[in-house]
Amino acid sequence: MMARVAQSLKNIEWIAPWMRLFKGENPKEQLNAIIRGIGVPVLAFVVFLWIWDASASRVETSLGTVPGPSQVWHQAQGLWDEHVAEREKADAFYLRQEERNAKKLAKNPDAETKWRDYHGRPTYIDQIFTSLYTVFAGFVLAVAIAVPIGILCGLSPTMYTAINPLIQIFKPVSPLAWLPIVTMVVSAVYVSDDPLFEKSFVNSAITVTLCCMWPTLVNTIVGVSGLDKDLINVSQVLRLPWFTKVRKVVLPFAVPMIFTGMRLSLGVGWMVLIAAEMLAQNPGLGKFVWDEFQNGSSNSLGRIMVAVLTIGFIGFILDRIMLSVQKAVSWDKSSVVR
Amino acid sequence: MSAEHLIIDHISIEFDSPKGKFKALDNVNLKIRRGEFVSLIGHSGCGKSTVLNIVAGLLQSTEGGVVLEGKEVNEPGPERAVVFQNHSLLPWLTAYENVELAVKQVFKGRKSRKEMREWIEHNLRLVHMEHAMYKKPSEISGGMKQRVGIARALAMEPTVLLMDEPFGALDALTRSHLQDSLMEIQRDLKNTVIMITHDVDEAVLLSDRIVMMTNGPAATIGEVLDVDLPRPRYRLELADDVHYNHLRAEVLRFLHERHSKTDVQSNSEVKQAAKTEEKKGAGADRKAA
Ligand SMILES: Nc1ncnc2c1ncn2[C@@H]1O[C@H](COP(=O)(O)OP(=O)(O)OP(=O)(O)O)[C@@H](O)[C@H]1O
Ligand SMILES: [Mg+2]
């Protein structure tokens, strides 16, 4: 098990030299590799910051000059401090509540105690997690729809000819076009007195699903329909029942392609989510950007830029995670996955 | 059981091609006894694989049919196990798991888990693969993959074992090792075997009968040669055996004199295949010299 984990870690190019370094394998070469792997990108990033800094101060907007890296950093710290302060408030609130209840119980063991949740303003960090949560919900739903349909289409040419035009038509539709429809449908269909999820959350998640299922669907179809004729023959000779065939032969064969599709899907989903949240007013990074824009204080531009960088960074991390998963599940170790 | 164990009964097949119907096989007729080892030999593209696939049930003949133990064959099944030319192992499963997939399917409900495990291991041992049971196909050599493919087919306990150029892609040394293993296994299990080969020596060494096919299109059986060499056969002893060399020469004569590939040139579909054959033909000539 450990060996397997180590093996899949080794597949991640920027970890490999570190691992070798710790094992004491030719330290000089590993250091070189690390410098090439990390030093060059860091240098490029520094150059980028410098250009940003130099050009930002020249643009004057109605909200002041465009903030440079240091102002943005300052805003990021401000957002973090707000988050910490809010958490302390929440902790204090719960502490007080507990004390109150304890006192009540001490006086009268049968007393009814009340428990209230703290309803503070969602902080920036909360909003990041809401966004992640939403995008995952949409993504999981997309995969759950796309993979089975993709397998059916990949196995049956008739299904494929039936579904392909629909894919081609719906694939390029922007989230902004889906959202009004989704909103109307959700408010018509999703009616309950005690909803498990917020409507705004459902709207954004479904919009994400509609926009991000296509890469997974297309890749699943391509992966499944590429199934080796020989492997089909094997499953025929064995008289594998349809479901066993799918589980033991088709699915494993297509898994690398499916994961390639899922990685693309998650990327699209994350991109689309921000737009969806802006419009659906789902508490997340998109809403944060929108609120700041409406707010129009002197801090707004800086805060929006923090959001932009956060979105980019999280997108990057998500992609790396998916890449590692993709490499780990790929049985064709000779293929290059990047 | 009657002597007529497997009957290939006047089969013909037509493929749809852009230029209309293409008749690949015409009236192929063959009766095979239980436990018999039959080789199919013929020029590339003549339709050997097609015959085998019809027996396997992977293709349907247009006319005629295949009868195994009194029952007509019309779909694939594990009682007619196939060893494919390029091993066809599932690349994400280990050797053991590849055989297991077949065993679980065939012996579901008939063998306990422990019995299945023993049976899988037994079959891998038969082909001398016990040391690499838990390796994936990408981690073992071509010859080893082919062994696992054979183990998988044997593990299905087939009535008929169908092999499409099982050793075609292997080097001469590995090939002769596998031929020896196959002879051993065949001696013990007495399966009925149909094997396609391009290698005249292989055909004579292994077979009870060699079926030589004419060139396509509309290929059929040209000649059937009985190989009445006593078993067990040892390749080194046979090398100087007069009768062995006579049989070899018979096959070569059939392939190179009466049905040389020049007849085929008219059929554009076969041209591509003929190129490969040229190489193989050259190899056979060298050996004949
Ligand atoms: N599915 C198919 N559709 C159309 N034509 C086919 C099909 N399968 C085979 N053929 C044709 O039938 C002929 C016989 O093919 P087959 O694969 O049986 O040859 P073969 O003797 O096995 O050749 P080789 O020794 O090269 O494997 C060829 O001319 C081939 O083009
Ligand atoms: Mg063939």
Q: Which atom of ligand 1 is nearest to the CA of B59?
A: 1
Query: Using CB atoms within 10 A of its CB, is residue B242 exposed (0-12), middle (13-18) or buried (19+)?
Result: exposed
Residue B259: the pLDDT is 67
Min Cα distance B85 → chain A (Å) is 9
Q: CB of A4 within 8 Å of any CB in chain B? A: no
Last residue of a domain, one of B102, B128, B157: B157
Q: Are residues A52 and A154 in the same domain?
A: no
- Residues A248 and A227: their CA atoms lie apart, in Å, by 12
For A144, other C-beta atoms within 10 Å of its C-beta total 13
Cα B96 from Cα A78, distance rounded (Å): 59
Among B157, B184, B201, identify where a domain stops. B157
Q: Examine residue A299 and state whether it is found in any structural domain, yes or no.
A: yes
Nearest CA to ligand 1 atom 24: B44
| A336 in a structural domain | no
pLDDT tens readout for residues A287-332 = 899 988 888 788 888 888 899 999 999 999 999 999 988 888 888 7
B:237-266 residues touching chain A, CB 8 A cutoff: none
Q: Say which CATH number the domain at A221 has.
A: 1.10.3720.10
pLDDT at position A113 is 72
Same domain, A14 and A131: no
Instruction: Assign residue B35 the CATH number of its domain.
Output: 3.40.50.300
Q: Identify the domain containing residue B108 by its residue range.
A: 80-157
Q: Calculate mean pLDDT across residues A156-183.
A: 90
Do B91 and B201 fall into the same domain? no
Residue type, A79: L
Confirm whether A201 is domain-assigned: yes
Q: Which residues of A90-121 are buried (b: 16+ CB within 10 A; e: fewer)?
A: eeeeeeebeeeeeeeeeeeeeeeeeeeeeeee
Residues A204-248 pLDDT 10s: 999 999 999 999 999 999 999 999 888 999 999 999 999 999 999
- Percent of chain A beyond pLDDT 70? 94
Q: Would residue A196 count as lying in a domain? A: yes
Q: Hey, is the C-beta of A236 within 8 angstroms of any chain B C-beta? A: yes
Domain final residue pick, B157, B174, B207? B157
Atom of ligand 1 lying closest to residue B16 CA:
4
- In which residue are the tokens 């984990």 written? A5
Q: Taking CB atoms and an 8 Å limit, are B84 and A333 in contact across chains?
A: no
B97 and B70 together in one domain: no
B273 lines ligand 1 (CB under 6 A): yes
Q: Do residues B139 and B19 both lie within one domain? A: no
Cα–Cα dist A261/A264, whole Å: 5
Q: Are residues B131 and B211 in the same domain?
A: no
In a domain, A67, yes or no: no
Report whether residue B281 contacts ligand 1, using a CB cutoff of 6 Å.
Answer: no
B11: its two tokens? 């089969």
Taking an 8 Å cut-off on Cβ atoms, the answer to whether A233 and B78 are in contact is no
- B74 lies in the same domain as B88: no
Compute the average pLDDT of residues A119-138: 88
Together in a domain, B170 and B222: yes
Q: Are residues A170 and A302 in the same domain?
A: yes
In the predicted model, is pLDDT for residue A86 greater than 70?
yes
Range of the domain at A272: 126-329
Q: Work out how many domains chain A is built from and give that number.
A: 2
Q: Does a structural domain hold residue A315?
A: yes
Q: With a cut of 50, which residues of chain B have pLDDT below it?
A: 1, 263-289
H/E run at residue B195: strand B192-196
Max Cα distance, chain A (Å):
79
Query: Domain check: are B123 and B256 in the same one?
Result: no
